[in-house]
Structure 1
Amino acid sequence: YDNFRNIEEVGKGGFSVVYKTLYGMSFGTYEEVAIKIIKDSHKNKQIFLNERKYKSIKVISKNSNARI
């Protein structure tokens, strides 16, 4: 974390928080970067997978010729 300077929150949503910061490069130079921190990533991953599974089942049920 020593390479980051001037960390500022730029936005947040239900799943993550985004920050902008200066990242220390070689020879004392800095580059502006964004960092996205995912909140409770294990829980959010499970929500995503459950929604994806539901949508896949819904699509398959609409297509009577679907082969699994």
Structure 2
Amino acid sequence: MDLSVKEGDNVKAGDIVAKVGNNGYSRHPHIHVGAWKGNIPLQIRFDLKSMGSQLKNLGEEMYYL
């Protein structure tokens, strides 16, 4: 995994926070994400259409939607 942020960094929609590969026993690359604002956990929602466009721009042909 290649992290682009560290604890305490502020991120906004569209920011790349990490690049992942596949290790261990998973079938596909994935990442576990947790987000908090103070003591309150935040819901994380993914815009799959936008993510597909970003992956296509990065040359990840296998994953774009």
TM-score (norm 1): 0.24
The higher-RCO structure (CA 8 Å, 6+ apart) is 1
Whichever of the two has the greater Rg, that structure is: 1
More strand by share: 1
More helix by share: 1
